[in-house]
Amino acid sequence: MRKEVWIPRLLIAVSVLFIGVMLVLPLVVVLAEAFSSGLDAFLRAVTDPYTLKALRLTLTATVAAVLINTLFGLTAAWAVTRFSFRGKGILSTLIDIPFAVSPVIAGLVFILIFGRISPLHPFLDAHDIKVVFAEPGIILATVFVTFPFVARELIPTLEARGTDEEQAAALMGAGFVTIFRRVTFPHIRWALLYSVILCAARAMGEFGAVSVVSGHLRGKTNTLSLHVEILYSEYQFTAAFAVSAILAAGAVLMLTARNIVEYLAHKEDDFNVR
């Protein structure tokens, strides 16, 4: 057989094998282990009060991270693409810090800023404000780690669209809110939704930074991923995998949503960019 026929087949086989072993197999194992002691054991682990508390905290942190990062991601993307100012290049680079820095370091930084050794600590203590080893710390860590998603997705989109339409609207007397709502937002809505989904997926599964600021107080500062670790280290394998299954299901849901958004955005682009 000719060589040209083998190359695509080989590449496809390698890809399928690799993805199967490295990505799909673990997912299957998680589900298999979760149900290995029967449905009852699975339900018991999933409806355990500590699990539910962890789920609630994970959802709180995720929603907070999505809201905060959407707002500030939009602001940063707008500032970088629509205005010219000193230090713009640096700001644009700084946005990527969370991708470059290990999440553990991010967690440590928050401990330094808000923990016992911080000069802020007496003030926080006097006003009974708890940041680290409490929910605000978890939210802060999640926000930090997921910040780049929205801004990074929106900057190229805003750049590609240019400012002409916004200038045209401004020349007709439209104010900032009208311009954003009627002219800019329709351009970026799919990119925004897409980045929100990625941001949420990442926020749900965040472990490193959250682990440092959490303090692992069961039922208080445990997120789902931290809860999995605790269960696992206590040899409660079925429960650990059952809780993991919740996270895995969340991830699959996010991936599906992402694909639907991608499909819809492409369909609209095909129409509008002709």
By C-beta, is 22 or 171 nearer to other proteins? Answer: 171
C-alpha angle with apex 42: 247 to 257, nearest 5 degrees? 30
Report, in Å, the least distance between residue 157 CB and other proteins.
Answer: 13
By C-beta, is 15 or 178 nearer to other proteins? Answer: 178
Report, in Å, the least distance between residue 74 CB and other proteins.
Answer: 18
Q: In this structure, are residues 149 and 72 in contact, taking their beta carbons and an 8 Å threshold?
A: no
By C-beta, is 188 or 248 nearer to other proteins? Answer: 188
By C-beta, is 186 or 219 nearer to other proteins? Answer: 186
By C-beta, is 8 or 173 nearer to other proteins? Answer: 173
Cα–Cα separations (whole angstroms), residue 234 to 45, 125, 239: 14, 33, 10
**What is the CB neighbour count within 10 angstroms for residue 63?**
13
In the three-class reduction of DSSP (H, G, I as helix; E, B as strand; rest coil), residue 163 is classed as coil
CA atoms within 13 A on the CB side of 55: 17
Q: Shortest CA distance to 49 belongs to which of 203, 215, 227, 178?
A: 227
Number of helices (H) and strands (E) in the chain: give both, helices first.
Answer: 16, 0
Report, in Å, the least distance between residue 186 CB and other proteins.
Answer: 4
Pair of tokens at residue 97: 């810090």
Distance CA 61, CA 134 (A): 12
**What is the CB neighbour count within 10 angstroms for residue 145?**
25
**What is the CB neighbour count within 10 angstroms for residue 40?**
8
By C-beta, is 152 or 187 nearer to other proteins? Answer: 187
Report, in Å, the least distance between residue 77 CB and other proteins.
Answer: 19
Report, in Å, the least distance between residue 151 CB and other proteins.
Answer: 22
Binding site for other proteins (CB under 8 A): 164-165, 167-174, 178, 182-183, 186-187, 271-274
Report, in Å, the least distance between residue 46 CB and other proteins.
Answer: 43
By C-beta, is 100 or 172 nearer to other proteins? Answer: 172
Distance CA 254, CA 201 (A): 6
Report, in Å, the least distance between residue 39 CB and other proteins.
Answer: 49
